[in-house]
Structure 1
Amino acid sequence: MQVGIYMDLRNPPKWQRPWKGFYETALEQVVEAERLGIAAAWFSEHHFWEDGYLPQPLTFAAAAAARTKRIQLGAGVVLAPLRPAADIAEQGAVIDLISDGRFELGLGAGYVVPEFKTYGVSPKGRFEALEERAIEIRRLWEEGVATPAPLQEHMPIWIGGTGLRAARIAGRLGEGLLWPGPASLPEYRKALAGAGHDPDSARMGGLVQMVINDDPEAAWPRISPHLTYQWGSYAYYGGLDTVAPGMALLPDLDPESLRSGESVLLAPKFDVVTPDEAIRRLTEWMGDLPIEHILVWSSIAGMPDDLVARHIELLSTKVTPALREVGLPSPAPLAGAEA
């Protein structure tokens, strides 16, 4: 199992950094994560958000691939209905070649109506479109239609989604499920078996909603405004019918309502935890699941740099080694990484 970071590259107006150099700094963060021994970096996608939420994860993954040597790279998720299968297949193959076979492709259905409208696609049937894209991308690779071919003989494809529908799609196609929800596993395995795949071939991964800090109670008031903005923005853009210039009205959201002491921290549940508490919760949560990727946010909507740096440092030096010791292995750090 790989422990990695998940990046959306938000730059909210309230805490905005100069856009000049913003992506360069983010790429340096990926390089530093690799140096520390973080196993993977995955990149998300949305369009036309006021904070510049990363609109082109494949482009950014290619840039990260050129800067790194070992860290696994993933797109999680590409909004598949918005793009032709051939475009995704070709870009994925190029990234895989640049990265020397370190790329994994996550595909999702999307949900924000203005994104579909601007791309000239109907949101109706988006799950059917997701399945069609996944089938076609795999065919283009396996039949050698997309050239050049990926370096990996069977590049990993992941189906992202929070509900059982995504689990059924992943199962029918024999692909990974990019959602670590325990409730999805029975349906996923059932769909694998029903489509003639080995149910024991199930592989899951996805985003864990936590930030790691030595003193969670001191860090919480510094993180909670960013969490409020993050989840408010999801609610705001998810409720729009057309593109709007910025967030006209931030939904009233109490960050305390999101904070949870449960082991399973799936959105919107969230917590700030010590390394020991992170290890305890992750071990309890992931122990019986076929998990390949645990991903945590690199940053919550522009939160302070010192919190980001310490979060990633503790993830690499405390949490990852401990998970390896209890039987949840992760690749060793690069030479020169801090112990």
Structure 2
Amino acid sequence: MTGFRAGAMLFTGRFEGMTDKQVFDSALANAKAAEESGFDELWVTEHHYISYGVNPSALAMAAFLLGRTEKLRVGTAVTLLPTHSPVHVAEQALLLDQLSGGRFDLGLGRGGPVVDYEVMSSLDHWERGYDQAVRVLLDSYSGKVSADTEFYEFREVRPAPAPRTSPHPPTFLAGTSPEAARRAARLGLPMLFFFSQDDASKAELVALHAEEAARAGHAGPFQHAFATIAHVADTEEQAVAELIGPLRQFYGKAEQEYVLLRDRPGPQRGEDYFEKVFEFVLSTFPIGTPRTCAQRLEASVRASGVDRVLLMLEGSGRPDLAERTVRRFGAEVLPVVRSALGADDR
């Protein structure tokens, strides 16, 4: 591990009764609260064609937040690369790297095989084009790039501006599988892990990544990151009560609204799937009193070996509770975790 860092993950979720304006007003309020409360960074997501998430451009949202903050790093979690031109994504990352004074992190992923690819790209790009897109993007950071692959074919061009951060803006690859870990390792990039993985699974992928990266000549260290749902209240019962209804709504809409272009990878979901998800989330994620949140977060960092954390703090579906959670995490949880983990560093 390389040193604990805490980020507020702004999912820009639209819960029952919220307008788009309220979603974005809340995101900005939470960003300001995070900067005032001692967070290290912000992370923003990207959604297309769903009712419960209303930010179609992680890069545009990151640019806005970089302009409205002074100290925080801002990253995308994630930019859905195969739905965009990789050269253009690289240019935008380089621009934000320059304009922000080096405060920008680019997280890349491909998401699921959903209708986004029918509208913006193609399912072939999802199935076979991701590796090519990532390599074209990384080549674009060098100042000149050409391509002659199945999905990208163009003469040499010179993307600009030059990177401010050497050798290029920090770039992460999202993933949940051994294949994803090997891909990131071969390219010398750290990984982003998301809500569905337990700590043991993350630890296995971190170990695999280290082995593959060393084999490819990338020594590291790598500061991987993981996302988790977080919520703080005065009692465990209050935290669960404030979170469980909106969580059920959130996961229910996800199940209803994603339009799949092919069968979902992985095991089929039975009737009790979501109950198991809720049990996993409520029993292991940093949800509860400040003490419980600190203990669980510290335990997760130690068990996974991943010490950069993206805290999704708006799961209550209420802007007032989301901002309260941001501020209480900054004041009552993060200092405890930093102290506990910092003792090992010394």
* Range into which the TM-score falls when normalised by the shorter chain: 0.7 to 0.9
Match of 2:226 in 1: 206
Is the CA contact 2:97–2:103 (under 8 Å) kept in the aligned structure 1?
Answer: yes
Which aligned pairs between 1:229-248 and structure 2 lie closer than 5 A? 229-238=249-258, 240-241=260-261
Match of 1:97 in 2: 98
2:155 paired with 1:152: no
Rate the CA distance shift 1:254–1:176 in 2: closer, same or farther, 3 A. Answer: closer
2:137 paired with 1:137: yes
Match of 1:247 in 2: none
Q: Which moved more, 1:251-260 or 1:309-318?
A: 251-260
Is the CA contact 1:112–1:237 (under 8 Å) kept in the aligned structure 2?
Answer: no
2:334 paired with 1:320: yes
What whole-Å deviation, never above 9, does each CA across 1:65-95 have from its counterpart, x for those lacking one?
1111101100011111101111111111122
Q: What is the count of residue pairs matched by the alignment?
A: 311
Pick aligned residue for 1:9 from 12, 16, 22: 12
Distance (Å, rounded) in 1 between the aligned partners of 2:331 and 2:227: 20
Q: Aligned-pair distance for 1:260? A: 3.2
TM-score w.r.t. the length of structure 2 is 0.81
TM-score w.r.t. the length of structure 1 is 0.83
Is the CA contact 1:159–1:177 (under 8 Å) kept in the aligned structure 2?
Answer: yes
Q: Aligned-pair distance for 1:101? A: 0.8
Distance (Å, rounded) in 2 between the aligned partners of 1:292 and 1:101: 21
What whole-Å deviation, never above 9, does each CA across 1:190-242 have from its counterpart, x for those lacking one?
221221222x5232102023322222312322321210122223323345449
Identity fraction in percent: 24
Q: Secondary structure at the match of 1:203?
A: coil
Is the CA contact 1:5–1:42 (under 8 Å) kept in the aligned structure 2?
Answer: yes
Rate the CA distance shift 1:282–1:293 in 2: closer, same or farther, 3 A. Answer: same
Match of 2:299 in 1: 284
Match of 2:115 in 1: 114
Q: Aligned-pair distance for 1:256? A: 7.1
Letter in 2 for 1:143: G
Rate the CA distance shift 1:60–1:164 in 2: closer, same or farther, 3 A. Answer: same
Pick aligned residue for 1:220 from 240, 248, 256: 240
Letter in 2 for 1:278: C
Q: Aligned-pair distance for 1:15? A: 2.3
Q: Aligned-pair distance for 1:128? A: 4.5
Distance (Å, rounded) in 1 between the aligned partners of 2:169 and 2:305: 18
Match of 2:310 in 1: 295
**Unmatched 5+ residue regions in structure 2?**
145-157, 194-198, 263-270
Q: Which runs of 4+ in 1 moved over 6 A?
A: none
What whole-Å deviation, never above 9, does each CA across 1:254-302 have from its counterpart, x for those lacking one?
5575133888x5xxxx5622221222222222126553521111312x6
**Unmatched 5+ residue regions in structure 1?**
243-250, 330-339
Rate the CA distance shift 1:211–1:24 in 2: closer, same or farther, 3 A. Answer: closer
Match of 1:80 in 2: 81
Distance (Å, rounded) in 1 between the aligned partners of 2:183 and 2:78: 15
